Amino acid sequence: MSLRLYHNDASPFVRKVMVVLHETGQLADVELVHAKGSALSPGSLPTTRNPLGKIPALDRPEGATLYDSRVICRYLDARAGARLYPAPGHSGEWEVLTLEATADGMMDAAVLMVYETRLRPADKVIPEILEAQWRKIERSLDALETRWMSHLSGPLNIAHVAMGCALDYLDFRHGTRDWRAGHPELAAWHVGFTARESMVATMPRQI
- Binding interface with ligand 99T (CB under 6 A): 10-11, 13, 38-39, 45, 53-56, 68-70, 104, 111, 114, 173
Least distance from ligand 99T to the Cβ atom of residue 179, Å: 16
Least distance from ligand 99T to the Cβ atom of residue 177, Å: 15
Rounded CA-CA distance 118/176 in Å is: 17
Nearer to ligand 99T, 33 or 149 (CB): 33
First to last CA, the chain: 24
Burial zone of 11 (CB within 10 Å; 0-12 exposed, 13-18 middle, 19+ buried):
buried
Nearer to ligand 99T, 191 or 207 (CB): 207
In what order do the strands lie in the sheet containing 63-66?
30-34, 3-7, 57-60, 63-66
Least distance from ligand 99T to the Cβ atom of residue 41, Å: 9
Least distance from ligand 99T to the Cβ atom of residue 201, Å: 19
From 64, 96, 49, select the one nearest 77 (Cα to Cα). 96
Least distance from ligand 99T to the Cβ atom of residue 10, Å: 4
Closest residue to ligand 99T, based on beta-carbon distance: 68
Nearer to ligand 99T, 56 or 86 (CB): 56
Nearer to ligand 99T, 51 or 155 (CB): 51
Nearer to ligand 99T, 111 or 163 (CB): 111
**How far out from the chain centre does Cα 183 lie?**
20
Rounded CA-CA distance 197/19 in Å is: 9
- For residues 21, 59, 28 and 192, what is the CA-based torsion angle, rounded to 10 degrees? -20
Rounded CA-CA distance 68/140 in Å is: 22
